[in-house]
Amino acid sequence: YNMFNCKLLLCIPVYGNTVQHLHSSILYQNLAKEVYFMTDCIFCKIIAGKIPAAKVYEDEGVLAFLDISQVTPGHTLVVPKKHFRNLLEMDSVNSSLLFEQVPQIARKIMKATGATGMNIINNNEEIAGQTVFHTHIHLAPRFSEKDDLKVTFVAHEPNFEELGKLAEKIAQTKE
């Protein structure tokens, strides 16, 4: 659920945690299926049909559309129709529905574009590069090392004792 726990309502934050619920016949007409909607979220507006998008896949719970930035040709965003700030807020049912579609959409993009690889990227929170706060998965087809997508990891010499301690701490941490 989104932070306002709203279902088929147009939700407008008023002050603090107060929310004004407005039933909208247009919203009901546009959204035949169960959709969680935030009035200030660009992806919710795309899902509701208020902003056009180049759709490549759609079902009851998921929408995939071409990213307007097109970092590489075919760069696609896969989003849940229910509003979640990011993957860290999603429950197992909704994240499963989202990720169930990612491989098939990625394969279709690769086949249609002739890509030889695919980066599947998800950013959670601003520090990690998230700029739109509605869960989304980037599917970025790769054609050569000289394209416009640069992902760099810096490898460090392993300290196996510290790795063991960290792994134990993570394993014992309650969600």
pTM above 0.85, yes or no: no
* pLDDT for residue 119: 97
**Statement: residue 54 has pLDDT above 50:** yes
Say if CB 76 and CB 115 are below 8 A apart: no
H helices of 72-140, where? 92-113
Residue where the block lists tokens 């030889």: 116
- Token pair in block for residue 80: 């849940």
* Higher pLDDT among residues 122 and 3, named by residue: 122
Asked if 138 is an active-site residue, the reply is: no
Give the active site residue among 75, 83, 134, 136: 136
